[in-house]
Structure 1
Amino acid sequence: MDERTPPDDNGEQAAGGSQPPTLKTIAFMTGLGVTTVSRALKDAPEIGAETRRRVQLVARQIGYRPNRAGVRLRTGKTNVISLVLDTEEQVGGFVSDLIYGVSEALAQTPYHLVVTPYSRNNDSLEPVKYVVETASADGVIISRTEPDDKRVRYMTERGFPFATHGRTHMGIEHPFHDFDNHAYSVEAVKKLASLGRKRLALLAPPANLSYYRHMRDGFADALMEHGLTEVPFPTATVDHSIDEIRAVTSELMRRPNRPDAFVSGAGAGTFALVAGVEDAGFKVGQDVDIVSKQSSRLLHLLRPQLYVVNEDVRLAGRELATAVLGRIAGRDIGSLQSLSKPRAVEAYETPAPVKSNG
């Protein structure tokens, strides 16, 4: 039989010519049956470990990829995880690191990642509804989580596996991974208090997002603990453009009761804070100190005088992928919730001078 034209029993185009390799290709190369090859690729326990390794090695070497249409026909699964992302997410590596982390966790599984973009100017529920109603993925990961998130309610009511980057406050237990922004604010204020700063401003997330509440509560708690004063920064958030944050900062720094320190909720916003401070004629590290959260480790290239707390977004991606896969497998929700604690505030360390041998 000419294997180059018809699909095989697994819904895959058969090998030959320029056609992609199939299960039959691997079976021919290994001397095994198609059924044995199929089970070995799925890590079936009844197939010996050495056979599984040999089959999987050959599959990787020849670039074998299962045909998704065939897999869906046989199993009802797509082997796809959809990562629903805001197209205006902050710069500085957040999006790429999140995608990298998710992809890294999926690499050793049958699952593939598909990014489903949306604009925050549109309804955030629509891309989720599309995925669920068309069954175009087996699970969904969402970010920019809100305290009462309609996407979480929708997927919970439909029994659709998902995980969220961030927590909710709606009485629904669900898989999540989050960065502890309450602890971050506490550590940031503590650091600024130790530097003798008294009047602090917070560049916070938008009030509709869950991590706004966490960051603001931590900031307020720490101000009270250290006897410090807040200088309101009400007209800008980390979602505003760099130009908008810069202008608001510059205006704020020209007031008589200007802040002598800032806590920033995002690295991109910190670029604008620095520019606004300097526009007003002040220097970071002398007149003003700034503690910022960052995901890209770029801020010390901007100004060595900045203090930073690193958020590992690749870790978040890995945790979210693990959580949604666990939910697909039916694992208990409580075991699929994780919170990343911030490490200590880091200051820039000037490299030691290179000694001359001359």
Structure 2
Amino acid sequence: MRPDGEEPCHIVIEAIVGWSGGCYAPDGAGRMDRDQTEKDDEASAHERPTLKTLAFMTGLGVTTVSRALKDAPEIGAETRRRVQLVARQIGYRPNRAGVRLRTGKTNVISLVLNTEREIMSFVSDIIYGVSEVIADTPYHLIVTPYSRSQDPLDPVKYLVESGSADGVIISRTQPNDPRARYMLERGIPFATHGRTDMGLVHPYHDFDNYAFAAEAVRHLASVGRRRLALVAPPVGLTYYDHTVNGFADALSEVDASEVPFNAVSIDQSIDQIRTRTAQLMRRDVRPDGFVSSAAAATLAIVAGIEDAGLKLGRDVDVVSKQSSELLHLFRRELLIVNEDFRLAGTELARAVLGWIGGAAPGSLQTVVKPGDVVAYQG
């Protein structure tokens, strides 16, 4: 427990399935909507220490104990120290339902993720980044997953209509994103991983994928590659447009040509990408360079290249994004651009908390430029 008596950050994962109007536990244990959560809080209050317990053990009044936990200056330093020590020793935690009734706040930030389509390094790193920021605040992180069969707006509607969170973070951002518009219209603080193109002001954090793709093309051209293929993000997401535009503009700049590879995106399975890469590399006119938007896709691209009997670094080069230092352990010939998802989580959490705290949404926008293309340094 923090010295001010607030409950420290923890992470809860809600699984949203079927969308009959609520959240369900992954084991089917039952509906986890707002009413059930509050009932659980009330039931657990009979089993855990309360302010009255602390008051009895310290010989102080309930009001004094409450103020001491909040470091109220009118309570003496020694009294505050004693109350907080006893609270830690007996495992006291504030009743979240009570906090909500008193303040109207949930002290919850929800991270909404399509976990079927997000690679696990992204999920773990972005959660870590968010958690680092909120660890010293009263806020808790709830991860709200949804599946590819569901409308991405559904979990956001649930969170807003049930009042389950004070702020929301979303990913897989679209140019005209209905989730962003919906939350803006309802005054819900949120931040997007990626930018929209709606002419509406809201917090976001983004990696400059236009610059990434352009620099990848320039680097491949600098080592003599002239027939390039792009393994792009999925169509419909904003960073697809940024990546494709950066790739195309740089091709013109360096007088290289594109070998179309439109049948593949990083959302497809590793087996699909591997098979289609092998088919492409067996053609008479094949690429001698790839730009890959994700490390997982790169593993499949390399496997497909080798299935076709070709050698990475001799017959073809690949420039790939990665979020962890793994690709050079897989193949030293790969050319790497690093993207920091932990930083993304940090910036997104700061943006949401900033908006909740009254900062102007337009002041809570960040774009990170990619670093240099990195070859293996043995």
TM-score for both structures, normalised by structure 2: 0.83
1:336 aligns with 2:369: no
Whole-Å Cα distance in 1 between the matches of residues 115 and 265 of structure 2? 18
| Structure 1 stretch displaced more, 55-64 or 272-281 | 55-64
Task: For residue 314 of structure 2, give the secondary structure of its aligned residue in structure 1.
Answer: coil
- Per the TM alignment, residue 280 of structure 1 is displaced from its structure 2 partner at its CA by 0.5
Alignment-mate amino acid for residue 251 of structure 2? L
Aligned to 1:231: 259
1:100 to 128, 132, 140: 128
1:276 aligns with 2:304: yes
| Distance change >3 Å, CA 63–CA 170, structure 1 → 2 | same
| Distance change >3 Å, CA 326–CA 46, structure 1 → 2 | farther
Q: Which structure 2 residues correspond to residues 284-323 of structure 1 after superposition, within 5 A?
A: 284-323=312-351
| Distance change >3 Å, CA 47–CA 178, structure 1 → 2 | farther
| Distance change >3 Å, CA 224–CA 79, structure 1 → 2 | same
8 Å CA contact 2:129, 2:343 repeated in 1? yes
- Per the TM alignment, residue 11 of structure 1 is displaced from its structure 2 partner at its CA by 7.5
What count of residue pairs does the alignment treat as equivalent? 338
1:248 aligns with 2:276: yes
- Per the TM alignment, residue 259 of structure 1 is displaced from its structure 2 partner at its CA by 0.4
Output one character per residue of 1:224-271: Cα deviation in whole Å (capped at 9) or x when no partner.
111111111110100011111111111111111100010000111001
- Per the TM alignment, residue 341 of structure 1 is displaced from its structure 2 partner at its CA by 1.7
Whole-Å Cα distance in 1 between the matches of residues 341 and 78 of structure 2? 36
TM-score for both structures, normalised by structure 1: 0.87
| Distance change >3 Å, CA 116–CA 254, structure 1 → 2 | same
- Per the TM alignment, residue 50 of structure 1 is displaced from its structure 2 partner at its CA by 8.5
| Structure 1 stretch displaced more, 120-129 or 21-30 | 21-30
- Per the TM alignment, residue 102 of structure 1 is displaced from its structure 2 partner at its CA by 1.0
- Per the TM alignment, residue 296 of structure 1 is displaced from its structure 2 partner at its CA by 2.5
Aligned to 1:353: none
Task: For residue 112 of structure 2, give the secondary structure of its aligned residue in structure 1.
Answer: strand
2:230 to 187, 197, 202: 202
Q: Which runs of 5+ in 2 are unaligned?
A: 1-40
| Structure 1 stretch displaced more, 90-99 or 268-277 | 90-99
1:173 aligns with 2:173: no
8 Å CA contact 2:232, 2:243 repeated in 1? yes
Output one character per residue of 1:132-154: Cα deviation in whole Å (capped at 9) or x when no partner.
00101111111000000000011
1:327 aligns with 2:355: yes
Q: Which structure 2 residues correspond to residues 102-141 of structure 1 after superposition, within 5 A?
A: 102-141=130-169
| Distance change >3 Å, CA 214–CA 60, structure 1 → 2 | farther
Whole-Å Cα distance in 2 between the matches of residues 98 and 303 of structure 1? 26
State, as a whole percentage, how many aligned pairs show the same letter. 70
8 Å CA contact 1:89, 1:95 repeated in 2? no
Whole-Å Cα distance in 2 between the matches of residues 201 and 50 of structure 1? 68
8 Å CA contact 1:206, 1:239 repeated in 2? yes
Whole-Å Cα distance in 1 between the matches of residues 353 and 74 of structure 2? 23
Aligned to 2:114: 86
| Structure 1 stretch displaced more, 54-63 or 142-151 | 54-63
Alignment-mate amino acid for residue 370 of structure 2? P
Aligned to 1:70: 98
Q: Which runs of 5+ in 1 are unaligned?
A: 1-9, 351-358
Output one character per residue of 1:276-300: Cα deviation in whole Å (capped at 9) or x when no partner.
1001111111111111011132211
Whole-Å Cα distance in 2 between the matches of residues 250 and 183 of structure 1? 28
- Per the TM alignment, residue 64 of structure 1 is displaced from its structure 2 partner at its CA by 3.1
Whole-Å Cα distance in 1 between the matches of residues 370 and 95 of structure 2? 42
Output one character per residue of 1:110-161: Cα deviation in whole Å (capped at 9) or x when no partner.
0101111101221010110001001011111110000000000111111111
Task: For residue 243 of structure 2, give the secondary structure of its aligned residue in structure 1.
Answer: helix
- Per the TM alignment, residue 12 of structure 1 is displaced from its structure 2 partner at its CA by 9.6
8 Å CA contact 1:182, 1:216 repeated in 2? yes
| Distance change >3 Å, CA 281–CA 158, structure 1 → 2 | same
Output one character per residue of 1:164-214: Cα deviation in whole Å (capped at 9) or x when no partner.
111000111101111111111122112212211111111001120000011
2:211 to 172, 180, 183: 183
8 Å CA contact 1:92, 1:295 repeated in 2? no
| Distance change >3 Å, CA 64–CA 208, structure 1 → 2 | same
Q: Which structure 2 residues correspond to residues 18-97 of structure 1 after superposition, within 5 A?
A: 19-25=47-53, 34-39=62-67, 41-42=69-70, 59-60=87-88, 62-97=90-125
| Distance change >3 Å, CA 13–CA 264, structure 1 → 2 | closer
| Distance change >3 Å, CA 299–CA 50, structure 1 → 2 | farther
Whole-Å Cα distance in 2 between the matches of residues 54 and 305 of structure 1? 60
Aligned to 2:221: 193
Alignment-mate amino acid for residue 246 of structure 2? G
Whole-Å Cα distance in 1 between the matches of residues 188 and 173 of structure 2? 17
Alignment-mate amino acid for residue 196 of structure 1? G
8 Å CA contact 1:92, 1:268 repeated in 2? no
Whole-Å Cα distance in 2 between the matches of residues 57 and 226 of structure 1? 66
| Distance change >3 Å, CA 255–CA 182, structure 1 → 2 | same
